[in-house]
Amino acid sequence: MLNHYSKNYKEMSNICIFCDNENEAKSVEHIVPESLGNTKYIMPRNSVCDNCNKRFSKFEEKVLTKTVFAFERARFAIKTKKGNASIGKLNKLEFSGDKNFRKNIVSIRGISLDDFKEFDPNTGSGQLVIPGFVGSENATSKFLLKVALESLYKSQKSTFKSHNFNQLKEFLNTKSNIDWPFITTSIIMPEFKSIPRFEDKHHLNEIKCSISFCKLDDKNLLFKFKYGGVTAIINMLDRNLDWIKKYRTLDETLTVLPEHYRKKLSDSTENKE
């Protein structure tokens, strides 16, 4: 009886939450990447296998060097693992953090006047438009869903257990590579609740990161990732667009990504009217 119990227990604790394989992982899985400054919020041992961890590092690296999160990382003067200033590239804009690690100093190369919106030559001012996720949308969706599932497993076990995340897993295991929509928004959403608690939450706040969730209904379990001034939200259960319609009425500046979902969204709205 005792043997039976310990065998089951051992198996349970060695199952990867993404691919369901038994494993003895050698690497430590950071829920929020170490490259964003997270050192403490990590997964329990063997809950993510080395194969999955390795596969994830490809899209993670893309998000951390080729999206607006990379820009935020440079702005906060986060050091790379080798102790250098972080660098990134958004389309033709290349940027790097301050080499003396002072915050809010970012060097940018490759700017042209076309990058400015409403440029006024008299005052020399305008808005610099940074293409936040161009070419990295699919990687960003995967990145968000990875952080989402891991953080629920770590800090909100009952929510983790009471939902079916098969579509999310298939997407992250690259059995299905169809784009998964997410939004960026600037409005405050009080209905979201922090996933990590106590010290974990505090640690993430210190690195300007917060992760939270909100259950709308059986089809919509939303995950919000905020790093610096950038907030992205994704539905963990499937690719439906219904939840986005609700937020679009509250925030006109809301952006739906990847872009082809924007057309799909406006088509479906017109059909209903």
Residues near Zn ion (CB under 5 A) are 16, 18-19, 49, 52
Q: Which is nearer to Zn ion, 18 or 243 (CB)?
A: 18
CB of 55 to Zn ion, least distance (A): 8
Q: Which is nearer to Zn ion, 35 or 47 (CB)?
A: 47
Tokens of 76: 């906060």
CB of 52 to Zn ion, least distance (A): 3
CB of 48 to Zn ion, least distance (A): 6
Spatial neighbors of 188 by CB under 8 A, at least 6 apart, are none
Q: Which is nearer to Zn ion, 19 or 216 (CB)?
A: 19
Query: Phi and psi for 100 in degrees, rounded to 5?
Result: -95, 10
In this structure, the chain runs to a length of: 273
Residue 204: how many CA atoms within 13 Å on its side-chain side? 22
Q: Which is nearer to Zn ion, 44 or 110 (CB)?
A: 44
Q: Pick from 38, 6, 249: which is nearest to 147 by CA? A: 38
Q: Which is nearer to Zn ion, 18 or 223 (CB)?
A: 18
CB of 203 to Zn ion, least distance (A): 25
Q: Which is nearer to Zn ion, 48 or 77 (CB)?
A: 48
DSSP string, 90-110: ETTEEEEE-TT--TT-EEEE-
Rounded to the nearest 10°, the torsion over CA 59, 64, 67, 70 is 180
CB of 173 to Zn ion, least distance (A): 8
Q: Which residues pair with residue 203 across a beta bridge?
A: none
- Quick one: 100 exposed, middle or buried, by C-beta within 10 A (0-12, 13-18, 19+)? exposed
Tokens of 249: 């009425």
CB of 16 to Zn ion, least distance (A): 3
